[in-house]
Chain A
């Protein structure tokens, strides 16, 4: 089942094209990483998906047009944005009261349960909480909502390592169940690569890579070339090459593992390496 279906999504601000014809399809039950540099269009894409911004093109999220039926869509979608968006004057207890009041799929007991594991005082106002606590609070709300799609826009920006780890652990262990879909935007690639099932790279408002993690493992290989094999490895046209410890590290897209094996040590490329190769390569092209 398709959860998000976008075709030719465009959005232009006065001076920039934030989205320049984005096509993407997210199937139910996937955990998709939306990855790109700052200004690549991640937040704009997410805002369009959530019905927070007008756009051109076709977009269906859970069979809704987000722009025309945001409030109906939000019964099935949860969202955490990059910076704390919980109103600073709100009390923790009021937050629970309010969401329980307006959300038909909110399970208060569940939220209370998550909060009980934290040190967040129930009577505090949001402004009195630390940044990590605000994220914990928001996460507790979100995890208690029986949503079909969860959208996270740089959810752990500015958080301590410990909080970041807890955040993704709770998400995987207590929330994700295979019926839900999660869309995460971030530029902290290493941290989330092990939880993703799919990745989408955005660059200057365009999708430059859209693949499942299994496909990536087959497609992208890193070769640490044996010194005498570097030249013949280069003839296979690596998409990226760097030098480390006196040896050439080359990244190949779509070259069979068997062909590379004779030229040096082959290993699966990390998401970060692929990102640097593809996005960095495009940046260099633009600069040239």
Chain B
């Protein structure tokens, strides 16, 4: 019997295409990644839209020379940004700690693995969600909500007979619109190892990955606090809390680095000139974190390959 020639022409799809569809499938499954910040943005917009009903009065005071009122103008915009930012952060934490766990729990891992997508692509797609998608979603929502609020404010102001030009002169959003994307990029890089760590634990833990991810740090922090209390009682008080500092730095250090003048959370940036990319991007903490991210993701990939459905 002659062997039937089989078309082995290796049609291979590009890695980019595989990553794109893997990412798309993540967003189908975890719709909260987009929806939760959007809902919060809508709520924040609604609340701030009510608060600007008093705007004409504020503008009249500014017109009369009350300099302090200028800073009040920006606070609804900052509120929108902050609430969306925090929501996006929380959703990203939950996403990353579930991503490689849920697919094992519902056995869909076998389906994903029955398709020609490598474990590396799958893990990379899951990492892309908190690392790239969340910041982009936050940015889009914040800017949209802020523009909507600005349009609404102009309408309210015009309707009560004040010139909207006065509003536009007193309210400078350019700083925020530069600092926000800058901060989102810095923060994404800063928090990369955090998400990679959560992904790793979600590939490893049999249940409650979020607890497993937090437990070592929480336990160490408790021990640290106890040691400190004991030392204090003995009169040899030491002030240093390396574990708590590390955790705080890894959770919120990126925000502090990007949004504060000294990079330590003191004095929020209010001029573009206060940004210090040189300090930020030469920070050993940032680079150390990125190196750790690579190792953690490699370990998560290694685990995904070996793990079987729960």
Contact = CB atoms under 8 A, between A and B. Distances in A.
B116 A53 contact: no
A108 to B, nearest CB: 14
Interface string B43-62: 00000000000000000000
Contacts of B116: 71-75, 102-104
A227 interface: no
Contacts of A105: 11
A71 B108 contact: no
B308 interface: yes
Nearest to B114: A79
Given A102-B21, A104-B11, A88 B106 contact: yes
Interface in A1-52: 1, 28-29, 47, 50-52
A53 B4 contact: no
Interface in B17-61: 17-18, 20-22, 24-25, 28-29
B233 interface: no
A94 B28 contact: yes
Contacts of B117: 71, 74, 102
A90 B28 contact: yes
Nearest to B107: A85
B295 to A, nearest CB: 21
Nearest to A47: B308
Contacts of B305: 70
A87 B115 CA distance: 13
Contact of A102 (B4, B115, B308): B115
Given A85-B108, A87-B106, A90-B28, A74 B114 contact: yes
B22 A102 contact: yes
B134 to A, nearest CB: 20
Interface in A54-108: 54, 70-75, 77-79, 81, 83-91, 94, 98-99, 101-105
Contacts of A179: 4, 6
Contact of A53 (B11, B25, B118, B308): B308
A86 B108 contact: yes
Which of A1, A28, A29, A98: most chain B CB closer than 10 A? A98
A197 to B, nearest CB: 14
Contacts of A102: 13, 17-18, 21-22, 115-117
Interface in B99-118: 103, 106-111, 113-118
Contacts of A51: 113
Chain A interface size, under 10 / 10 to 19 / 20 to 34 / 35 or more: 35 or more
Interface residues of B, number: 34
Q: Which label, helix, strand, loop or mixed, suits the secondary structure of the B interface?
A: helix
A83 B115 CA distance: 17
A90 B119 CA distance: 20
Nearest to A75: B116
A159 to B, nearest CB: 17
Contacts of A121: none
A78 B4 contact: no
A146 B115 CA distance: 13
Given A52-B113, A94-B28, A103-B116, A75 B3 contact: no
A89 B98 CA distance: 15
B12 interface: yes
Nearest to B29: A89
A280 interface: no
Contacts of B111: 81, 85-87
Contacts of B18: 101-102
A87 B106 CA distance: 7
Contacts of B17: 101-102
Which of B3, B111, B118: most chain A CB closer than 10 A? B111
B10 interface: yes
A178 interface: yes
B306 interface: yes
A74 B11 CA distance: 12
B120 to A, nearest CB: 9
A237 to B, nearest CB: 37
A254 B22 CA distance: 54
B28 A85 contact: no
A206 interface: no
Given A83-B107, A104-B13, A98 B6 contact: no
A81 B28 contact: no
Contacts of B107: 81, 83-85
A151 to B, nearest CB: 9
B25 A78 contact: no
Contacts of B25: 94, 98
A249 interface: no
A101 B28 CA distance: 14
Q: 7 closest A-B pairs (Cβ-Cβ)?
A: A101-B21, A87-B108, A104-B11, A71-B118, A79-B114, A74-B116, A85-B110
6 contacts: A28-B3, A71-B117, A71-B119, A87-B29, A102-B13, A102-B115
